[in-house]
């Protein structure tokens, strides 16, 4: 029998020893059908223990396993009961590991440095610098990035915005081979590993059972198909819903059921605290509408000129550099501990002067302000603070962001306005006179 005092370390070792997919709890047990009879008990025990070590051997999963094993006649009921009984301590240890509060993500350089006013200074070039200009230059020379300057700047701003209470998110879209993932990979090298959680795929409940802290970290997903947006609509898959909840609510609260040490069903609640932002690449032209309105859409450059530039870069024989980005890590480390409190004195003016043509502007405006605030934070050595200690964003912060996102937000708004509405507005603009426009005039022009 397993020692009831089994601790979280043993749970973690066993979680690594066996494979478990929360999206398909029976995957390990299905393999048992193809092994020799004398090995089936041991293999089922391994699969069940893997579930337990992952902290997901709740009453529902246990019933699914029992039904499958019984129908397939893999084991006797008594043998399975013994296996489950032995695995329960692993489950308690797994839950303990999942629920243990983790310290904030740190780079090695942050040890002994807490709060604003950290003693570690910013890089010498951070004051009076064109940070975006330097970023593009370093990505070219150190990473071999060709073109994609705007997307590189925006991806950097999005990841840097993770220090805010309401950070920005983005989807980088483009044809297969257009270089969208490489642009993201290059930019992420300018951040320490602790700034992001990178995935190429995920199971449905991966975010729930992931041990990592989400607070002020960017979730990066290479390829949006892992969101299973189609399955969410047709089969109730929860992956995309978890992402939306994280972006909107800043946290995940997930009740699940398990048996306690007395065999009674009890409800436990897994909580994942944010705030968290999201960066995804995709070949799709659009995501689920509920996800689309929560993110900036960045299009990869698939022009002929960009293709020619990439071909020339390949022909030059330059290899992807493994150059050191420690100076950029030092900047991010300093920003992490620096002042994040920003006031945008012209925010009210912007709100009053942006045409309210679509409901999604309510979210887009919040994204715009988040990017402006992030730009001010990055350049805070060249910004003043007010009487409350807040960084005062200047017009340059807005103008730099506007140059990057103006057309993106206009295009996004345009996709939410029906074509007939746009045609009607255009017709009224053509017919407009000081006396106004009659319904007949408008109808005649639209019918023409």
pLDDT for 246 equals: 76
294-346 per-position pLDDT tens digit: 778 887 777 777 777 777 777 776 655 567 898 999 999 999 989 999 999 99
Name the burial class of residue 12, with classes exposed (0-12), middle (13-18) and buried (19+) by CB atoms within 10 angstroms of its CB: middle
More confident residue, 200 or 145: 145
Alpha-carbon gap, residue 144 to 153, rounded angstroms: 15
Residue 178 in contact with residue 305, Cβ under 8 Å? no
Q: What's the pLDDT at 242?
A: 76
Distances (CA, A) of 391 to 343, 376, 378: 6, 7, 11
Lowest mean pLDDT among 15-19, 27-31, 131-135, 273-277: 15-19
Rounded (10°) angle between helices 361-378 and 149-160: 90
pLDDT at 235: 46
pTM, entire model: 0.65
Average pLDDT (90-97) is 55
pLDDT in tens, 177-214: 667 788 888 899 999 988 998 887 667 777 777 777 88
What is the C-alpha to C-alpha distance for residues 222 and 226, in angstroms, rounded to an integer? Answer: 8
Asked if residue 53 has a cis previous peptide bond (ω within 30° of 0), the answer is no
C-alpha closest to that of 268 among 102, 99, 103, 101? 99
Q: Choose from 94-98, 156-160, 249-253, 261-265 the range with maximum mean pLDDT.
A: 156-160
Residue from 195, 186, 147 nearest 299 by CA = 147
CA angle, 16 then 17 then 20, to 5°: 70
* Interatomic CA distance for residues 279 and 287, integer angstroms: 13
Each domain of the chain, given as residue ranges in start order, spans 8-99, 122-338, 339-413, 418-447
Give pLDDT tens digits for 387-419.
999 999 999 999 999 988 887 776 545 444 455
Which carries the bigger pLDDT value, residue 153 or residue 206? 153
CA-to-CA distance for 392 and 342, rounded, in angstroms? 6
Task: Check residue 269 and give its pLDDT.
Answer: 79
Domain 122-338 fold:
Rossmann fold (3.40.50)
Answer yes or no: is pLDDT of 234 > 70: no
Task: Characterize the bridge pairing of strands 217-222 and 276-282.
Answer: parallel
């Amino acid at each position: 029998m397993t020692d009831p005092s089994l601790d979280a370390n043993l749970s973690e070792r066993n979680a690594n020893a066996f494979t478990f997919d929360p999206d398909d709890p029976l995957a390990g047990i299905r393999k048992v059908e193809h092994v020799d009879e004398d090995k089936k008990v041991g293999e089922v025990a391994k699969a069940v223990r893997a579930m337990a070590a992952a902290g997901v051997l709740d009453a529902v999963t246990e019933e699914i396993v029992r039904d499958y094993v019984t129908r397939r006649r893999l084991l006797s009921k008594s043998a399975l009961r013994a296996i489950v009984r032995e695995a329960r301590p692993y489950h308690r240890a797994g839950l303990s590991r999942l629920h243990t509060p983790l310290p904030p993500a740190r780079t090695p350089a942050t040890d002994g440095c807490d709060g604003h006013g950290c003693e570690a200074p910013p890089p010498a070039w951070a004051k009076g610098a064109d940070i975006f200009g330097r970023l593009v230059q370093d990505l070219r020379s150190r990473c071999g990035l060709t073109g994609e300057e705007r997307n590189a700047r925006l991806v950097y701003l999005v990841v840097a915005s993770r220090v805010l209470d309401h950070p920005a998110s983005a989807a980088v879209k483009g044809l297969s081979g257009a270089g969208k993932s490489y642009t993201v990979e290059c930019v992420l090298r300018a951040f320490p590993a602790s700034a992001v959680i990178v995935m190429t795929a995920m199971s449905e409940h991966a975010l729930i059972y992931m041990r990592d802290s989400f607070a002020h970290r960017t979730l990066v997903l290479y390829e949006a198909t892992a969101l299973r947006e189609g399955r969410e609509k047709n089969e109730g898959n929860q992956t995309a819903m978890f992402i939306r909840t994280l972006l909107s609510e800043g946290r995940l609260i997930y009740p699940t059921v398990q048996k306690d040490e007395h065999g009674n069903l009890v409800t436990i609640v897994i909580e994942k605290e944010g705030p968290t932002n999201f960066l995804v690449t995709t070949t799709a032209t659009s995501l689920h509408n509920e996800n689309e309105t929560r993110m900036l859409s960045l299009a990869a450059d698939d022009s002929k000129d960009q293709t020619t530039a990439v071909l020339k870069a390949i022909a030059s024989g330059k290899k992807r550099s493994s150059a050191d980005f420690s100076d950029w890590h030092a900047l991010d480390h300093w920003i992490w501990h620096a002042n994040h409190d920003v006031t945008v004195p012209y925010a009210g003016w912007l709100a009053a002067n942006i045409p309210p043509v679509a409901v999604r502007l309510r979210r887009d405006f919040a994204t715009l302000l988040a990017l402006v605030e992030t730009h001010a934070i990055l350049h805070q050595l060249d910004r003043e603070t007010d009487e409350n200690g807040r960084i005062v964003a200047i017009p340059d912060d807005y103008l730099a962001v506007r140059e990057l996102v103006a057309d993106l937000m206009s295009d996004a708004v345009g996709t939410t306005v029906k074509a007939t509405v746009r045609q009607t507005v255009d017709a009224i603009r053509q017919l407009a006179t000081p006396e106004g426009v009659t319904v007949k005039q408008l109808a005649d022009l639209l019918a023409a």
